[in-house]
């Protein structure tokens, strides 16, 4: 317990507190008596006294006081004490004054260093504790089946309003990140700068970086403006791409949805988009759930999609080089708007090769890609084959 101090020391403490912007006087503890004692006796601080200063540093961190203001409190207190020390003010012995100054500076040096160490330890503990709470909150938000009342209370310290419309972006590095904290810090800095520090959460889950961000109410569901998901995706990807490690990145963004369950829905869409992008071997670095809606529709009835692929495309396996080159040709042809010259450019083959392959497909399957009546069936079957990763993998449910 801090002992009662002389009136003049209490005045020094009060003035130092004002210099530091109102930092509580109690954070000085027995620091001022230590300084005064050092000026008179020249003794260094005892270990127990320094440990008490370290505890005060931890206390300051837990109270949310900045390190700069706490250090300013201690330095200002030392300066004011030195000016008001009675024995120094009255002494004409220069050697005594020099010895007293050296002793006081030793105490200041030891005390401030110990204060900073205590502050840093507490900050690390707080950060670890906050990271644990944040990770648990993110897990529950993305699962979408937790108690709403409890989640609202836990989300409030992070500035999340669960009644708003949110969307989720997931970022996957090509290799494991050596420093996840650096990636989170970089993302937080730019996203907080662009979107503000409320209703934004950045965390990790299952090796992925998760960004929960607000969206306009009009963006919920089908009314989402085209490109809004791209905006968040490009923002996240652009910042992550600046990092030294983890490149190249792939970012998937779910559609905006309102409420707690909307967060879980947006997350599932983003995760599904990441998985789908891997199956489709797309070279796009930013994928949105909106872009992949057609694939989700196709996969809702997987047995029907398998039947379609088998019925329409399985005859292509009888081709000399197998089904692969012919499927690639169909895919490029449809992506090029059914223009053979553009498809040839994308495939890096001659136009004659493209037309030959299209003719071969018609012969094997009975479906003509140049015929609008057949085109939809062929394109749906090609999309299904890509999603099911056929012919590289056997179709589900087939021997």
- CATH code at position 188: 3.30.70.2730
pLDDT at 331 over 80: yes
Tell me how many domains the chain contains: 3
In a domain, 138, yes or no: no
53/318 Cα distance (integer angstroms): 82
Is residue 97 domain-shared with residue 221, that is, in the same domain?
no
The pLDDT of residue 228 is 55
Is residue 105 domain-shared with residue 182, that is, in the same domain?
no
Is residue 280 domain-shared with residue 369, that is, in the same domain?
no
pLDDT at 217 over 50: no
The pLDDT of residue 186 is 74
Identify the DSSP state of 6. -
Mean pLDDT of the chain: 84
Segment 272-276 shows an average pLDDT of: 86
Is residue 12 domain-shared with residue 99, that is, in the same domain?
yes
Segment 9-29 shows an average pLDDT of: 91
Residues 6+ apart with CB under 8 A from 165: 214, 215, 216, 217, 219, 220, 256, 257, 258, 262
256/222 Cα distance (integer angstroms): 9
Is residue 311 domain-shared with residue 266, that is, in the same domain?
no
What is the pTM assigned to this prediction?
A: 0.60
Alpha-carbon torsion 369, 374, 375, 381, what sign?
Answer: negative
274/48 Cα distance (integer angstroms): 56
Identify the DSSP state of 340. H
16/358 Cα distance (integer angstroms): 85
pLDDT at 297 over 80: no
Selected residue with higher pLDDT from 162 and 55:
55
Is residue 233 domain-shared with residue 326, that is, in the same domain?
no
* 122 strand-pairing partners: none
pLDDT at 275 over 90: no
The pLDDT of residue 93 is 67
Please tell me the total number of residues recorded for the chain in this structure: 399
Where is 398: in which H helix or E strand?
Answer: none
The highest-confidence range among 88-102, 155-169, 299-313, 350-364, by mean pLDDT, is: 350-364
Residue after which a domain boundary falls, among 93, 126, 159: 126
Segment 83-109 shows an average pLDDT of: 77
pLDDT at 397 over 90: no
108/377 Cα distance (integer angstroms): 81
The pLDDT of residue 1 is 45
Question: Could you list the residue range(s) of the whole structural domain that residue 199 is in?
Answer: 150-290
pLDDT at 389 over 70: yes
Q: What is the pLDDT of residues 101-157, one digit of tens each?
A: 888 899 999 999 999 999 999 988 887 787 788 788 888 888 877 777 788 888 887
In a domain, 170, yes or no: yes
- What is the three-class DSSP state of 141? helix
- Residue whose pair of structure tokens reads 């923002």 in the numeric block: 235
pLDDT at 222 over 50: no
Is residue 349 domain-shared with residue 379, that is, in the same domain?
yes
61/358 Cα distance (integer angstroms): 71
The pLDDT of residue 132 is 81
Residue after which a domain boundary falls, among 271, 290, 309: 290
Residue after which a domain boundary falls, among 235, 266, 290: 290
Q: Which of 204, 197, 213, 211 is nearest to 179 (CA)?
A: 204
Q: pLDDT band for position 220 (50/70/90)? A: very low
Radius of gyration of the chain (CA): 33
């Amino acid at each position: 317990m801090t002992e009662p101090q002389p009136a003049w020391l209490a005045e020094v403490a009060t003035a130092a507190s004002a210099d530091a912007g109102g930092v509580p006087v109690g954070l000085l503890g027995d620091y001022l008596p230590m300084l005064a004692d050092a000026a008179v006796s020249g003794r260094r601080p005892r270990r127990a006294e320094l440990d008490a200063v370290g505890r005060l540093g931890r206390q300051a961190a837990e109270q949310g006081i900045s390190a700069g203001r706490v250090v300013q409190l201690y330095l200002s207190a030392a300066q004011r004490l030195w000016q008001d020390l009675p024995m120094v003010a009255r002494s004409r012995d220069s050697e005594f004054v020099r010895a007293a100054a050296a002793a006081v500076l030793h105490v200041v040096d030891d005390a401030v260093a110990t204060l900073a160490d205590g502050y840093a330890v507490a900050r690390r503990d707080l950060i670890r504790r906050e990271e644990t709470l944040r990770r648990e909150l993110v897990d529950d938000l993305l699962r979408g089946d937790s108690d709403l009342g409890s989640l609202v209370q836990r989300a409030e310290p992070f500035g999340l309003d669960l009644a708003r419309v949110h969307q989720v972006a997931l970022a996957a590095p090509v290799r494991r990140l050596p420093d996840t904290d650096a990636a989170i810090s970089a993302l937080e800095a730019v996203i907080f700068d662009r979107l503000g520090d409320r209703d934004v959460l950045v965390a990790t889950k299952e090796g992925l970086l998760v960004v929960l961000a607000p969206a306009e109410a009009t963006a919920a569901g089908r009314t989402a403006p085209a490109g809004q998901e791209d905006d968040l995706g490009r923002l996240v990807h652009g910042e992550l791409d600046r990092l030294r490690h983890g490149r190249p990145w792939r970012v998937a963004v779910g559609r905006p949805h309102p409420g707690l369950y909307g967060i879980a829905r947006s997350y599932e869409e983003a995760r599904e988009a990441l998985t789908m992008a891997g199956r489709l071997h797309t070279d796009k670095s930013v994928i949105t759930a909106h872009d992949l809606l057609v694939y989700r529709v196709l996969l809702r009835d997987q047995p029907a999609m398998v039947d379609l692929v088998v019925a329409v495309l399985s005859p292509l396996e009888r081709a000399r080089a197998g089904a692969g080159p012919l499927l690639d040709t169909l895919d490029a042809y449809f992506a090029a708007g059914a223009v053979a010259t553009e498809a040839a450019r994308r495939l890096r083959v001659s136009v004659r090769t493209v037309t030959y392959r299209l003719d071969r497909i018609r012969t094997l399957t009975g479906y003509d890609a140049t015929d609008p009546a057949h085109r939809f069936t062929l394109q749906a079957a090609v999309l299904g084959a890509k999603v099911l990763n056929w012919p590289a993998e056997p179709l589900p449910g087939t021997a």
